[in-house]
Amino acid sequence: MKIEKINDYTYKISKDSFPFMNVDGIIYADDKLFEYIKNDKTIEQVANTAALPGIISRSIAMPDAHQGYGFAIGGVAAVDLNKGVISPGGIGYDINCGVRLLSTDLYFDDIKNKINELTKTLFNEIPSGTGRGGNLKLNYSELNTVMSEGVNWAVKHKYANPDDLEFIEENGKLKNANPDFVSDKAKQRGADQLGTLGSGNHFAEVQIVQEVFDERVANGFGLHKNQIVVLIHTGSRGLGHQVCTDYLREMDIAMKRYGIKMPDRELACVPIDSDEGRRYLGAMASAANFAFNNRQLITYNVRNVFKKLFKTDKVKIVYDVCHNIAKIEEHKINENRMKVLVHRKGATRAFPPGHKDIPQVYREFGQPVLIPGSMGTNSFVLVGTEKAMNETFGSTCHGAGRMLSRTKAKGVMNYEKAIQKLQEKGIVVYASSKTGITEEIPEAYKDVSNVVEVVHHSGIALKVAKLKPLGVIKG
Amino acid sequence: MSFRYLEHPSDIGIEVVADKLDLAFKECYEALISLIFGSDLKLKIKSETAKKNEIKSIDIEALLIDFLNEILFIIDAEKIIPVIKDIIIEKEKLLFNYYEAEFQPIILYVKAITFHQLKIEKKENYFRLVYFVDL
């Protein structure tokens, strides 16, 4: 394989490395993160992704990249809308897994004596953990409405305020959703899971704005030092997982009819404009809308808790971003503007100042980019840039990136030690299981600060603020 | 017959060895149940009537994935633990009978079974199967 270091933050995999590569691979990483990336199959997966028919310009991996299924997690690939393919592996099994940041009108001194009570109450109110259903049990008709209307459904049912919509990517609704393309199996899996956090690396955290790097942009986002915020990380639950499973199988069979051959079966794909492609995009959008509503219902619970404990109803959405999704977007390719399909798997959209698809009040600054750290570590708010538009189809990283297996993580420290370490940092934790703690220790992940520095110095998103956890809720 | 878990940066793999292919498939199912519910699971059968299920796929690898994803669906959507009595494989078709056991707390939530590094190998006098799950 022909790998070349381009600069301090970028490596290139030449398309001459393999005959099936249509474009080069580009990995954003410094030397330290590149050493981690070399240890698993990330580089091979970036090369495999470069084989997608119709792929434009480059197959990209972010500094938090690690081995996934088909695409690397942290992978971005844009394809020609007319000649290109859609690959469910380029979105992942958790469609619209994403992050939402809520701001409050409270500061550290307002809550410092109630952090344990706040975290415990949130843990009791937000359904989390394995096998725990949500507070709503929807029939198929209601579920179809959730999927087709996006967060407009939540507004109608008073789980959202009308002015929430603008601060959610795509205004909380992917318009091409078609629940008819979602299987009964997927609906069965998802019917009782709306409004649930799930488990694994999903979480809700009470945080404090610890440091502001860009005062102007932070103020523009409504963020101030010592302010209390809440970060939510979850996705489309069993419904999204089943949509991906269903269509990967369907495309695995259909690919041969279209004469497509890929080096990895998890990169099964079909032409965007095929019957299978259109149906997957409709189902994917439906699952994405389910996930937006999932984060909205959790927001509703958070708002109720803050109202109960602190008598405030000023819990606002700063922004909500997807990090597993495919979108039709307009980008400049070789001086021409054209519509392309951008796959982002473990990658976040990072649109620049002036872009029409970001909230009006943010347009002078750029799109908020939310980067969760691992449990007990900092999270970050960044802002999108023109450089991201030029180099990565308006994309950046999504988190810390895992580097230790779950077994190895559990071997690093036991549950009691993990809790003690968090308590020493002043962090309160409530979790549905001990496994949820021991498998998610910070030592299992890359250093998110390192990831963010690479992103910042390569210019594909710029630092705005650093957030510190105070209370953690995990499944 | 036996199975073991394999290391993966973010998920888990399962390796199975068995004398016959249908037994190997059954061991893959056992390994999945053990992963989800824990190794000391005590099952309580709800009904004496077995349910029948048939899976058809395009090749033997897809058959394993489709079979295990069906088990996952039964667990996640129907909230029961399927207790498989027997599996019959005929080319790219699999038939299995299962009893419904009472649902129990999930230890590890599995999103899906994947084709990633999937192996179905016929050795001299045994079969070796490897698959990875998305957690």
| Local structure of A60: helix, strand or coil | strand
Active-site entry in A202, A343, A355, A398: A398
Distance from CA of B6 to the nearest CA of A (A): 9
Are A53 and A245 in contact by the 8 Å Cβ rule? The answer is no
Does residue A392 register a pLDDT over 80?
yes
Question: pLDDT per residue over A65-100, tens digit each?
Answer: 999 999 999 999 999 999 999 999 999 999 999 999
Q: Give the mutation candidate from B114, B117, B120, B133 for the A interface (greatest A CB count, under 10 A).
A: B114
Q: What is the pLDDT of residue B86?
A: 87
The Cα A277–Cα A287 span in angstroms is: 15
Structure tokens at A196: 């649930």
* Cα(A226)–Cα(B135) distance, integer angstroms: 35
In angstroms, the CA A156 to CA A138 distance is 15
pLDDT of residue A279: 98
Q: Given A402, A403, A405, which is nearest B7 (Cβ)?
A: A405
A37: confidence class by pLDDT, cuts 50, 70, 90: very high
Q: Is the ipTM of this complex over 0.85?
A: yes
Ranges in chain B, pLDDT < 50: none
For residue A245, what pLDDT is reported? 95
With bands split at pLDDT 50, 70 and 90, how would you rate the model's confidence at A131? low
3-state secondary structure of A141: helix
β-pairing verdict for B51-56 and B93-101 = antiparallel
Specify whether the CB–CB gap between A228 and A309 falls below 8 A.
no
- Please write the tens of the pLDDT for every residue from A91-103: 999 999 999 999 9
Pick the residue from chain B with its C-alpha nearest to A241: B111
Min Cα separation A179/chain B (Å):
18
Chain B residues in contact with A199 (beta carbon < 8 A): 109
